[in-house]
Amino acid sequence: MKFVHGAALTREISKLVKARSLLKVAVAYWGQDALNRTMINTKRGNIRLICCLKGGKSDPDVVRRFGKRIRQHDTLHAKVIWTSRRAIVSSANMSSNGLPEEENSLDGLIEAGVVLTDPLELAKISDWFDGKYNSARGITKADLKKAKDARPQGGWGQRVVKRGLIQALRTGGPQEFKQQRIAFALWREPMTRAQQASVRKYLKTNSQKVEHVLKLDRRNFSRLDQYLEWDDIPANTFLIDCQYLRGKIGRIYVTKTFDYVKARNGF
């Protein structure tokens, strides 16, 4: 057994993934630079891989290149690379932060691991991998799209860059709106007079409770916007309110929800 860390660990991983024998890789997170740092051949046939794709933690463009040889496991956090003669168990993900190119890289994480050659330990690792691989799920096009939508612009670990609305619509995707807490509120018909009267009655009857929860003076109740049949309205979020009727969007304005959870406060 040999202990390695930093750039030495990167070199050991790069050597191991170039082995011509069967390669088993269970590494949770794969970044944009994984292929460049390790020079792993994504088209080789004698390779099996497991990653964590949930929430876009692994780059779907990298994962896609392995085809059906890679599977996903939502709770995988291990970093294990195995061949019949050597294996590496470490803390390093397949990413630029996890695989520093220089010993004292300032922008890389501090990673360490061990290189194992004992046949008994190698057999245990192989059996462990096979069990996880058999229980892992295949990766579909829908999985890859979902991961891409969930992945921050520029990848994990990058500085969050806020974009204008039009740019976010064009390039940011759903994740851009999540990180800036923006949502669309589309409606067809305005509230009826009876529904509006019901809201006014509720506010009058429960004025003290509403004031306490929303931290809002009752003199400002008339300025509140109301939505019906929206059980999971997001808290602390800017709403782009639009009427959607006959395939067209109109009557657009912006409002903001309060910092409260509806289910917790009972209204």
Distance separating alpha carbons of residues 146 and 135, to the nearest angstrom: 21
Mean model confidence pLDDT for the chain: 84
Band (51; pLDDT cuts 50, 70, 90): very high
Band (113; pLDDT cuts 50, 70, 90): very high
For residue range 237-254, list pLDDT tens digits in order: 888 899 988 888 888 888
Check whether 163 has a pLDDT greater than 50: yes
Among the four given CATH numbers 3.30.70.330, 3.40.50.620, 3.90.1420.10, 3.30.870.10, the one describing domain 2-150:
3.30.870.10
For residue range 10-19, list pLDDT tens digits in order: 999 999 999 8
**CA angle, residues 231, 233, 234, in degrees to nearest 5:** 145
Check whether 156 has a pLDDT greater than 90: no
Candidates 119, 72, 90; CA nearest to 17 is 90
CB 11 within 8 A of CB 92: no
Return the H-helix or E-strand segment holding 241.
Answer: strand 238-245
Contacts of 158 (CB under 8 A, 6+ apart): 152
- Residue-level pLDDT at 167: 62
Check whether 189 has a pLDDT greater than 80: yes
Check whether 221 has a pLDDT greater than 80: yes
**Distances from the Cα of 254 to the Cαs of 180, 216, 239, 247, in angstroms?**
14, 19, 6, 20
Band (152; pLDDT cuts 50, 70, 90): low
CB 137 within 8 A of CB 116: no
Domain with CATH 3.30.870.10 in the chain: 2-150
Segment among 81-85, 93-97, 216-220, 258-262 with least mean pLDDT? 258-262
DSSP letters along 88-145, please?
EEES--BSTTTS-SSTT-TTS---EEEEE--HHHHHHHHHHHHHHHHHSEE--HHHHH
